[in-house]
Chain A
Amino acid sequence: MTNPENVLMLAGVLFTIGALGVMLRRNALVAFMCIELMLNAANLALVTGSTMNGGLDGQVASFFVMVVAAAEVVVGLAIIMTIYRTRRTTSVDDANLLKL
């Protein structure tokens, strides 16, 4: 068994990459993938925690996250597809109508 601290560190790095990706990349698909990355980083942290404590709570929670992520992917990709069809672009900066 590897050192859990290293795994947590990996989870933190993955989360940071994801967060930075959401903030910096314009492409909606990339931003979407970065969100998935953050979710998986969180899953990793949960599973590690569960291993460290010897319980199953964290693993159960990660399953929930996966289910929600799957549902979210369905809806999110559908939205991105629709936006691409109407506006011929996947840049999130072009979808800026939701403002006063």
Chain B
Amino acid sequence: MNLLETLSHTVPATGMFANAWWMIAAPLLVAAFLLLAGRVADAWGHFVAVAAVVFSFSIAACLFGEMLGRGAEERAVESTLYTWFSVGTWTFDVGLQIDQLSILFAMLITGVGSLIHIYSIGYMAHDERRRRFFAYLNLFVAAMLTLVLANNYLILFVGWEGVGLASYLLISFFQHKKSAADAGVKAFVMNRVGDFGMLLAIFTMLAMFGSSKFSVVNAGVPEMPAIWATLLGVFLLLGACGKSAQVPLQAWLLDAMEGPTPVSALIHAATMVTAGVYLVVRSHVVYEHSMIAQTAVVVVGTVTLLAGAWIGTSQDDIKKVLAGSTMSQIGYMMLAAGIGPAGYAFAIFHLLTHGFFKANMFLGAGSVMHGMHDDVNMRNYGALAKVMRYTYWTFFCGYIAIIGFPLTAGYFSKDHIIEAAFHYNVVIGLCALIGAGVTAFYMTRLMFMTFWGKQRWQPGVHPHESPKVMTLPLVVLAALSIVAGALMNWWIQTWLEPAAGNHPHEVSLIPTPIGLLAIAVVAAGVATGWYFFGRGDIPKVAPASKNPFTLVGRNVLYGDQLNDAVIVQPTYALAAASDATDRHAIDGLFDGLAHGFGGLSTQVRKLQTGYARSYALTMTAGVVVTAVVLILAHLA
């Protein structure tokens, strides 16, 4: 069975699969209910929200179990729910595709989503707009599930926009703060740029294939002209860059940390920002037919993984360090997705493990903030390991997972990517290796500044452990951060093969030379982190620095300034020029014309003297002139 036959092979939805749409419907209905119910639901609304997500998770788990029981050929299920609309020869169906790839996503979204919902019960306990917060979270879960379960790009786009909306609403959830409101707008606007790419891609598909269904597109791509395959790939990549905060559309992610911490964990670490990776893997057939687009994905991924790591090294805000780290890790996934069939499974593997350990660390950061009066500056932390034992140990699990300590989740998933990158191109491989070292460095820095070292707390701050409802999800996620890699390492490649078209590789526990090199680089990164931040005291104020690397990192690679200079200012100038043209040239022309006629008529008006004799004179003169003309004409 060749690749394409595998791809288009889906079986109709029966039994449990026919009810899969409840996964999306439940959180959506609850979101609508919570928003409409009013204050009546203030006291208990969040429990309904949690129940909805847990319900979705149980459906996803049942479907997953059912798929495990089936043969590999019968796992991918497609069900058309109804026809949305038809225009001319185009018909758009609302349909779900539940295959090996989307079920993993659905499990991640609902599973991590459930834990984060539970955590939020504690985190948002004292917020008077808690009901609204949970409604938005449920809206997000519904939109994200729509995104990953859709069987065509148009429905995917509906989910794509839905998560964008939910992201906007949640980033600016603390709307009384101007910075939060601005950050929401920024994220939304920058995502629009990516959405523009998505729309172009969908238009291209409709023009080329007359349908946006995955199966039709996958079947049609091999026959389309190479230039169109490249364009399609680049359009999709633009969309992925916007949603996944990849260079050059990365600047919104750090500002998005203005949102409540559970939001950062769910949307801006575990799920939404990885939608770009999902899109690239889902569209892998397109990339396999365009070397240029594929290389573009690799370059974007590599640049972002280094850029994100760079940002992570010099921020003092704990959430911004984690945001930079998220960018960097998504860069790894993009890189893997761009490598081709060798990397798809690794991209998804890293995506899943990253979803666990990054959600874990974000929630841990939220727990730290909870105990530190919402202070996010790591220079005011220090020595928290003793007072927040659960938070510390769970965070530590995330820490060793992300740096790739042997046998933890990140060790399996990230090393595979580094290895695949080396096989693809030595330069790319070296960049990935450097990224791993820098990751170890900034995470060690974070650990020293937050949990180890001496206490530098602000006066009046008494750190304390968070309630059980918050630490319990942390424990679950910490366990997953440790074991998820080992659980999936031997299994995920064969599992994903029919859906992602990857080529399974032999993986073994004994590290390859590149694996050993990676461990050495990580150890060097940890040692550097200890050398700079573990030995002496950490100043309360970031020391002035002339080191260009530090300055660039602190200023988030001058992303805002660059956008301002390249996009915003020219747009303002264009607007000012348009305004001036309208005001002076166009209005001037017509106003001038009107004034001219006005002046002319003032002059002509003077002929109306009111003197009967002058009228008589004019009349006579007119008669004479007419007569003369007639006579002359007659003579001629």
Q: Separation in Å of the B617 CB from the closest CB of chain A?
A: 5
Residues in B with CB closer than 8 Å to A92 are: 611-613
User: Given B605, B610, B620, which contacts A23 in the complex, CB threshold below 8 Å?
Assistant: B620
Docked Cα-Cα span, A22 to B613, in Å, equals: 7
Q: Is the interface of B mostly helix, strand, loop or mixed?
A: helix
Closest to A98 in B: B610
Closest to A93 in B: B611
Which chain A residues (58-100) contact chain B, with CB distance < 8 Å? 92-93, 95-100
CB-CB contacts below 8 Å: A11-34 with B:
19, 22-24, 26, 31
Task: Mark out the residues of chain B between 574 and 623 whose CB falls within 8 Å of any chain A CB in the assembled complex.
Answer: 605, 608-613, 616-617, 620
Are B620 and A99 in contact (CB-based, < 8 A)? no
A95 to B614, CA, bound (A): 13
CB–CB A96/B616 < 8 A: no
User: How many contacts between A and B, using CB within 8 angstroms?
Assistant: 29
B contacts with A, residue count (CB < 8 A): 10
Please report the C-alpha to C-alpha distance between residue A38 and residue B610 in the assembled complex, in whole angstroms.
Answer: 23
- Please give, as numbers and ranges, the residues of chain B lying within 8 Å of A22 by CB-CB distance: 613, 616
B612–A31 CB distance below 8 A? yes
Chain A nearest CB, measured from B532 CB (Å): 90
Interchain CB contact under 8 A, B608 and A99: yes
A97:B610 contact, CB within 8 angstroms = yes
| Cβ-defined contact, B620 with A96, below 8 A | no
A-chain residues with CB within 8 Å of residue B620 when the two chains form the complex: 19, 23
Q: Judging by beta carbons under 8 Å apart, are A99 and B612 in contact? A: no
Partner of A96 from B605, B610, B617 at Cβ < 8 Å:
B610
Please name the residue on chain B nearest to A19 by beta carbon. Answer: B620
A interface residue numbers (CB < 8 A to B): 19, 22-24, 26, 31, 92-93, 95-100
Supply 17 further A-B pairs (C-beta < 8 A) apart from A19-B620, A96-B611, A99-B610: A19-B616, A22-B613, A22-B616, A23-B613, A23-B620, A24-B613, A26-B613, A31-B612, A31-B613, A92-B612, A92-B613, A93-B613, A96-B609, A96-B610, A97-B610, A99-B608, A99-B609
25 A–B pairs (Cβ distance < 8 Å), ordered by A: A19-B616, A19-B620, A22-B613, A22-B616, A23-B613, A23-B616, A23-B617, A23-B620, A24-B613, A31-B612, A31-B613, A92-B611, A92-B612, A93-B611, A93-B612, A93-B613, A95-B612, A96-B609, A96-B610, A97-B610, A99-B608, A99-B609, A99-B610, A100-B605, A100-B608
User: 9 closest Cβ contacts across the A-B interface?
Assistant: A99-B610, A96-B610, A92-B612, A99-B608, A22-B616, A23-B616, A23-B617, A98-B610, A100-B605
